[in-house]
Amino acid sequence: MAGKRELVVSFGEMLIDFVPTVAGVSLAEAPAFLKAPGGAPANVAIAVSRLGGEAAFVGKLGDDEFGRMLAAILRDNGVDAGGVVFDAGARTALAFVTLRADGEREFMFYRNPSADMLLTADELNVELIKRAAVFHYGSISLIAEPCRSAHLRAMEIAKEAGALLSYDPNLREALWPSREEARTQILSIWDQADIVKVSEVELEFLTGIDSVEDDVVIKLWRPTMKLLLVTLGDQGCKYYARDFHGAVPSFKVQQVDTTGAGDAFCGALLRKIVQDPSSLQDQKKLVEAIKFANACGAITATKKGAIPSLPTETEVLQLIEKA
């Protein structure tokens, strides 16, 4: 990679999560809600920046109070918002999210259509995307046109410019017309990614098998990949590279809210990979990078809300040293 290119460009949705003021209740039972900035790609960009890295976000927001608030949050957190455009005719997406007493998350989305779905290929900040060392994205931006075409074009631009493509499907079944459509579209771009991260739930969804054994995970491996990761919550992470594979345990912490922990993991790992791309071929270096990412995810789960709980590098190193 030419020079010291360390920019991580995140593509996709940024929205407002409305979270109940009381834990362990359904959305209907919640007495009131607090607003929290969210959206997995935006969380990843802020995670990279919080760790001292260079990050940018590409996406569309409503030209409304919430949209302007979210753009300001990106800038306030050191993320380049030069790829953000505003839509005067559509609102910023909203999501009501709650952690039920059984620990499951419940989502209700307001996006029909929201501004993020209306990003067009012509609105892409091409020069910004071309500067990426890593171009990171999810699958929510594949659900509807014109955003889907913008997403595919952005991937092409980044790949042609020499970026690594990083994919975290971040499955949200409620947003897709059907499970079949979700599976088809998520896998439609599978072969193009260099780095793919899935959760246990996504692994089962995509393979149809409720197991995290190697013979199941390997069904998602492609010869074009450099790294495939399966995150196992507080059990850590399994990794598969071209010449080696293994598992890295997580850190024991008191979990409060797991929202954003996967995004923190992604951001931390991408930060380490752009600092030293050779870690994708060096098992010792990769294990250290994943350990750092696990610690970042663990810390994020100890506090409420995604963005406020994303740690600094100092906090991550302190947790690793204590363990």
Per the residue annotation, which of 102, 243, 263, 276 is the catalytic one?
Answer: 263
Cis peptide before 311 (omega within 30 of 0): no
CB 310 within 8 A of CB 298: no
d(CA 52, CA 313): 7
Give 80's contacts (C-beta < 8 A, 6+ positions apart). 7, 54, 55, 56, 57, 128
CA 98 – CA 10 distance, rounded (Å): 25
Q: Which long-range contacts (CB under 8 A, 24 or more apart) does 236-243 make?
A: 236/294, 237/265, 237/290, 237/293, 237/294, 238/212, 239/286, 239/287, 239/290, 240/214, 241/280, 241/281, 241/283, 241/286, 242/281, 243/281, 243/283
Which DSSP category does 208 fall into? S
| Annotation marks residue 191 as catalytic | no
CA 127 to the chain's CA centroid: 22
Q: Which H or E run contains 161? A: none
For the annotated catalytic residues, the residue numbers are: 263
